[in-house]
Structure 1
Amino acid sequence: MEVSFNQVHQQVLKDIERQAKSRTIRAADVIRKYSNKVLSNAAGRSGRYYKKPDTKKIYRASAPGEPPALRSGTLRRSWEPLPIGEMAGGGKVYTPGIHTDVPYAPMLEDGTPKIAARPYADKIKQEAWPEVKQIYEQPYF
């Protein structure tokens, strides 16, 4: 004779996985929201003024060490949630985050020999952390 909670156990595991996926998506949305905030033309930029090419508009660039200023909006619009990946053995990796395929994103973050860094990733993480933490601290049941 066997006494088992296998059916209940399987349902609980499915519920936890569903909630983990949902929380990961919600957390990625929060991170994207803060990336928009950090990469916006917020007050406090201290860089030089430049004319936008082929227009009469002027914008204020970021100074070295500040997050990049908004000029075209391409970087700010490009962020997408990280995909939820599968591990060997059928398990899944739930990592909240965002990524971009804009080729100059790493150059802005890290700088180049000719361009000083305009780091933004740590600022996004720092500002998003309290809200992301709150999402994961909610009870599962």
Structure 2
Amino acid sequence: MDDEEIKYFVRIRNTDLDGTKTVQIALTGINGIGHHTSRTITALAGVDPHAVLGKLDDESIRRISDAVETYTTQVPEWMVNRPKDVYTGEKRHLLGTDLSLAIEDDINRMRKMRCYRGIRHETGQKVRGQRTKSTGRTGMTVGVRRKKI
């Protein structure tokens, strides 16, 4: 294929991916897919991870799309982003808006049960045990006022 025949946008999982990038890098444009997951998806689809996404034929793109959809069933439990769902108890790998809605739902659930992390989220403080005495101070003035002569 020549450069004229490259697809500049490839649509997978309701996301427009950059066709000028390699398959492994382009797949990270989908929320919920990082470098490790994209490498696994290309291996499951049988596609070269270093091939340019826009130069692939429709069959390869379909295989990648199918691998993204069936990722949860083909990998072990520790490779998904929700190994045990709170409500169903099954392993799931959420992508795109499903992932952002699930994270928002988790935070709201923590706020509702008034656990430590939920209270920290509510008050806008650090959640993961970082120190707050000197770092994370936002909205304050910087510097010292000089005395008038």
Larger radius of gyration: 2
| Normalised-by-shorter TM-score class | under 0.3
Relative contact order (alpha carbons < 8 A, sep ≥ 6): 1 or 2 greater? 1
TM-score of the two chains, using structure 2 as the length reference: 0.22
